[in-house]
Chains A and B, each alone.
Chain A
């Protein structure tokens, strides 16, 4: 028998309820194990002292009803105490100075704004029109701050990126047109060339204006429209 078995069966051993063989094993363990022997001794003393107490009180005739009333009273009183405690509980106040409160508020606002911007920037591509209509004039202080810290594009960067994308599409369609234009009749070729020339002139005009005044939103918008026109012209004729 090990210590755990003995501890489990100690009570039955004391009461003499164990099988003879098991009782012998328990006795042998007691002889070998000092901690178990000490526990056994203490437990035996406790039992002896309990056996010496006599209960003098009389049990009332309906004990269950009495306990039910007592528990009801206890419940009612404890509920009332809780209410009093809740009322009496002093309101916890954060004792911040105005400066601290303002700094905390500004910090939370800044962090949440940055997170929102980063999330939006990561998950949403800005619409093409936004890139066109954005300009230094319409840029807010916050947007300027974000572009300075590198979290968002400045209107000029957005515009340049958009132009690069449009130029890439134009190059693609232009290659297709070059491959096919030999098949067109002369009238088609002339009409195509005349229109392309007009659009290119418009593109040159707006590009020049923007070189002098990069924040001219109207020229930005018109340049975008002209590049779109060029893209459409090339795409439509490439399908012939």
Chain B
């Protein structure tokens, strides 16, 4: 399509009006291509304070949350057929979107891929039954990303005081700071948990991988860490141990990378 698009502009004999018409057609094709298979789009904005909280429960699909420098929450979504019902509610400074409740008893419901933009300092609580969760640039009080069954969780550039990431089958990647006094919990049944954190932070660590016993500490191995339970668990303290990091991977690996 890209080739033909440029070919149109290189046709020397075409009149200016024909060029404009052809360009318009191509533009329309590009814009509406996602809807050719029956997809629909949802978009709504909410005025918000810096400490706004969003709670989103999806049935299936990818949820992407990005922090931005605006006093506004924007929720947009592509809905696959059969199109799910979305009825956001706002109460007490919290935006609630619950697709399980909104579509309860409907049987087959198509996936919904959300993109949510929130102020940097928001608290984010997202959950899906099946699908990926991607969160970036969040420095609020709480970040919770839970997948009931399978999907990857990717959390990048995070500065929240409390983080909880949990999935069934799938990988978890965290790239962020460890705030003093904070609480960080990562839990998976089967997948790889990779944590990229500043090793200069102060925290207490309990990392458990009972099945694989594969806990890669990286440079953390040089600190005050000790193995317990025949290598199934690593316990230790870095600095004054003010924050708490708890990592459990029932049937997968755990790796720490210095940030």
Task: Tell me the minimal C-beta distance from B112 to chain A in angstroms.
Answer: 13
B148–A236 touching, CB < 8 Å: yes
Q: Quick one: given A218-B229, A240-B59, are A229 and B208 in contact (CB under 8 Å)? A: no
B168 part of interface (Cβ distance < 8 Å): yes
B129–A240 touching, CB < 8 Å: yes
B232 part of interface (Cβ distance < 8 Å): yes
A201–B251 touching, CB < 8 Å: yes
Q: Quick one: given A184-B107, A198-B251, are A218 and B233 in contact (CB under 8 Å)? A: yes
Task: Tell me the minimal C-beta distance from B147 to chain A in angstroms.
Answer: 10
B17 part of interface (Cβ distance < 8 Å): no
The contact of B149 among A191, A217, A225, by CB within 8 Å, is A191
B104 part of interface (Cβ distance < 8 Å): yes
Cα separation A233 to B129 with both chains bound (whole Å): 9
Interface of A is mostly: helix
B113 part of interface (Cβ distance < 8 Å): no
B75 part of interface (Cβ distance < 8 Å): no
Mind listing 26 A-B residue pairs with CB under 8 Å? A183-B107, A183-B108, A184-B107, A188-B60, A191-B150, A195-B168, A198-B189, A198-B190, A198-B250, A198-B251, A199-B168, A202-B251, A217-B229, A218-B208, A218-B210, A218-B228, A218-B233, A222-B208, A229-B168, A229-B189, A229-B250, A233-B149, A236-B100, A236-B129, A240-B59, A240-B100
A residues within 8 Å of B by Cβ?
183-185, 187-188, 191-192, 194-195, 198-199, 201-202, 205-206, 216-219, 222, 225-226, 229, 232-233, 236-237, 239-240
B residues within 8 Å of A by Cβ?
59-60, 100, 104-105, 107-109, 129-130, 148-150, 168-169, 187, 189-190, 208, 210-211, 228-229, 232-233, 248, 250-251
New A-B contacts (16) at CB < 8 Å, excluding given A194-B169, A195-B168, A236-B100: A187-B60, A188-B60, A188-B130, A191-B150, A195-B189, A199-B189, A202-B251, A205-B211, A218-B228, A219-B210, A226-B250, A229-B189, A229-B250, A233-B148, A237-B148, A240-B129
